[in-house]
Every structure is written in C-alpha cells, then in structure tokens.
Amino acid sequence: MLAILCPGQGSQKPGFLSPWLEQPGFAARMDWFSTVAGMDLVHLGTEADAETLRDTAITQPLIVAAGLCSLLSLFPHPADGFRTVSVGAGHSVGEITAAAATGVITAEQALVFARERGLEMAKASAITPTGMSAVLGGDPQDVLDTIERHGLTAANANGVGQVVAAGTLEQLAALAADPPAKTRVIPLQVAGAFHTSHMRPAVERLAAYAKAMSTHEAHTRLVSNRDGHVVHSGRDVLDRLVTQVSSPVRWDLCMATLVELGVTGLIEVPPAGTLAGLAKRAMPGVEILTLNTPDQLDEARRMLAEHGGNDHKDDTDFTLAVAPTSGQVSFAAAQPGTMVSAGEVLAHVRTDGDTLEVTAARPGTLGDWLVGEGDDVAPGQPLLRIHPLTPAQAGQAGQA
C-alpha cells in the first residue's frame, strides 16, 4: 500500500525548485500557478533567500505549488495517481496539497486558498509577537505539562519525541529557561504561533472564503491532521482545512493511521525530508522516498509499481460512506433503497473511547451495505454506496 505525504511550512530551502525546472512541463505549470497565486513562484523557489522564504504569505502557496507540480511530473494524468495511491496526508499547509492531490479541490482552488491562508495567518501573527519552538525528547506527559504551565500550546504533536510549543515570545523564552527534564528546546524559523488561538482571526476569514468553494469526494483515503481520521467528504475536508489553522496538528495520529492501514511504501513530495524523517522513526519497515529532484522519479515509479494499487476506488455513479477510524460499525435507521439528505447519519463507528458518526456527504439513494452490522472496520474502509438522485427524486426532495 502506497502513501503520498505533503510537507508543511519550514521544509523549504533556498533554491529547492531549481533542479525541477528542466523537467518537461514543470516550468510552464509553475508559471500558471504563479499567475493563480499572484506572485512569481519560480523566482521564489529558485533565487529567494532564506529570510524571504520565512514569510508566511509567500511560503505557503510556494509549498503547495511545488508539491502539486512534482505530482504532475510523477502522474501526468492525475487519474493515474488515483488508481495507484491508497492514501494521502499533508502536514499543516501540506494538507491543502493533499486535498488537491486526492481530488477534493482543484489545484487552482488550492493555490488561492493557500495564498489567502498565508496572508491571513501573517496578519494574525502581526497582532502579537509569537513563535514556535520544538521540544525534543523527555517524558511525553512532563513535556505537555510543562508546555501548559508556561501558557503555551502543543501546536504540533509530531510523535517520536517531538512536540512543537507555540505562543508569545515571552512564553517561549520562559520555556527555554525552564524546559522539561531531559529535553532540547529549539526555536523554529516561523513567523507566528500557528495552530493556536492566536490564529482565530485567520479562521474567520478562511471560513468565509470556504463558503464559495465547491468540493468533491476524495478519490483516495485522506488522513486528517485534526485526529488522524480518514475523511472522504469534500465539505468535511474543507471545513477541517479551515479550523486546522487554529487547531493542533496531530501528525502522530496521522502516522498511527498509516501504520494501521498497512502502508508499505511512502513518497514525500518536495520540499521533502521532514515528514520522511519522522516516518523513519515511527513507521519501521516502510520503504520511504524523499522526492527532492527529478532524477528520483524513476525510483518513485518503481515504488508505484511495487507498492501501488488503490483498493479504495470511487466511481462517478456513486459516492462512498467510509469509516473515519477503526472500530465496530452499527447501522442507523436508513435502509438500502431509501433516500437520504446531506448530513444524515448513516452509521456509527464505536472505538474504545468514543462513538463517531458516519454521515451522507450529499443527497442520494442508499445502496447495499458493504459491511455487516457489528463488523470490525478499518480506517477509510467503504461502508456504503450512495447513488445520485434521479431527476424525479431530486424534485421530490426539493418539495419535501
């Protein structure tokens, strides 16, 4: 089973796009993405210095564009990727890349959303001087307790002994002076306290933009930063992209889901390295490729052949209701053959500590259940087909 991972802000390096510009079609696509984003992404990815790339408003659309262009080099026809890749995930702004790669939003929507996300987060960061620091090592509970004691937020739970604390510069200075036992505290080169309450002004603006965006169901499994759940509904993915800006990134839970799914190979797209490094420690036995230069495309294609094969295919004639996580499924009242409305509860998945609803992403007619009442299900497992309404049914639903 193959996974594609899309990195977030902080993974960029000066000149990281330079090797790609000789790749057929890459420069032309980047020129188009530059027009969409309203900035010269080619210049930024090849000639800008590290200080320039630290600018949130610049870096976020650049990272999304780089990831999508590299995927178009690997999959000139996106449908080929949908048939080969079983699961996608992205860290922070990389989740926008993953949403576009799995067909939830278009590349153009992703670029505009990333641009506005970066601008709004930069504005929010300017209200109060804030930042982020990585806390490496230590006892996990002691690390979280110390972060909370200093008034900070655990903004990124990256697993394998790495938590990112975020808050005001004064709070971060206090953490550096009084760190958890047996840890290293490393300030990060970012411009604000991302994924905390300091970003709430950005959430409000992005929520307004999201209302005007159309979405589609994901063609492959998409693992969410919020909780490591597999998300299939396009509207749910977009809502999560909005609230993610002020919510912690649970990358540890994302990696746990990838392991549970049975991922055997993963490719991190440019600018690659950060997520691959985390995966090497958290996902032993998985083949990992950091795709940073086009001369690695042949190696990536080999991995596609050896690990690829999407076992979660959608079809244009129906959409799927899928399990958000592993657990035991129970059916709701709706029976196959009946009409359901968007948001209607179809099933529940019970875990050890919670019960999660599975809802209809859009109106339709229920097909047969693909699992049995009480079955144990895996993350992203299809539970039920939902067929589109006929014109007569749509009219009937509109009159109800």
The string of DSSP codes covering 90-142 is: ESTTHHHHHHHHTTSS-HHHHHHHHHHHHHHHHHHHHHS-EEEEEEEES-HHH
pLDDT at 221 over 50: yes
pLDDT tens-digit readout, 282-301: 999 999 999 999 999 999 99
Which is catalytic among the residues 195, 198, 307, 312? 195
CB 220 within 8 A of CB 243: no
The predicted structure's pLDDT at residue 385: 84
Q: Which of 6-20, 98-112, 341-355 has the lowest mean pLDDT?
A: 341-355
pLDDT mean over 242-268: 96
3-state secondary structure of 345: strand
> In this structure, which long-range contacts are made by residues 44-50, counting pairs with CB atoms below 8 Å and at least 24 apart in sequence?
45/15, 45/16, 45/17, 45/18, 46/15, 46/17, 46/18, 46/21, 47/15, 48/14, 49/14, 50/13, 50/14, 50/189
Residue 74 or 381, more confident: 74
- 195 catalytically annotated: yes
Query: pLDDT, tens digit, for every residue of 322-353?
Result: 889 889 999 986 677 888 888 889 999 999 88
Reported confidence tier of residue 314, pLDDT bands at 50, 70, 90: very low
Helix (H, G, I), strand (E, B) or coil at 387: strand
Would 2-124+197-307 and 319-399 be classified into the same CATH topology?
no
Cis peptide before 271 (omega within 30 of 0): yes
Average pLDDT value for residue range 64-92: 93
**What CATH class is the domain 319-399?**
mainly beta
Q: Is the pLDDT of residue 311 over 70?
A: no
310 vs 52, more confident: 52
Q: Which listed residue (92, 233, 246, 326) is catalytic?
A: 92
Architecture label for domain 2-124+197-307? 3-Layer(aba) Sandwich (3.40)
pLDDT tens per residue, range 257-281? 999 999 999 999 999 999 999 999 9
Report residue 395's pLDDT band, with 50, 70 and 90 as the boundaries: low
Return the pLDDT at 321: 86
Quote the percentage of the chain above a pLDDT of 70: 95
**The 3-state secondary structure of 157-187, one letter per residue:** EEECCEEEEEEEHHHHHHHHHCCCCCEEEEE
At 173, list the tokens.
Answer: 């200075």
Does the pLDDT value for residue 315 go beyond 50? no
Kindly state the average pLDDT of the residues 60-89.
Answer: 93
pLDDT band at residue 396 using 50, 70 and 90 as cut-offs: low
Cβ(2)–Cβ(85) below 8 Å: yes
Tens digits of per-residue pLDDT, 128-166? Answer: 999 999 999 999 999 999 999 999 999 999 998 999 999
pLDDT of residue 313: 52
Is pLDDT above 60 for 397?
no
Class of domain 126-187: alpha beta
Least reliable range by pLDDT among 113-127, 207-221, 333-347: 333-347
pLDDT over 50 (residue 51):
yes
Q: Is there a catalytic annotation at residue 330?
A: no
Share of the chain above pLDDT 90, in %: 74
Q: Average pLDDT of 178-202? A: 93
Domain ranges of the chain: 2-124+197-307, 126-187, 319-399
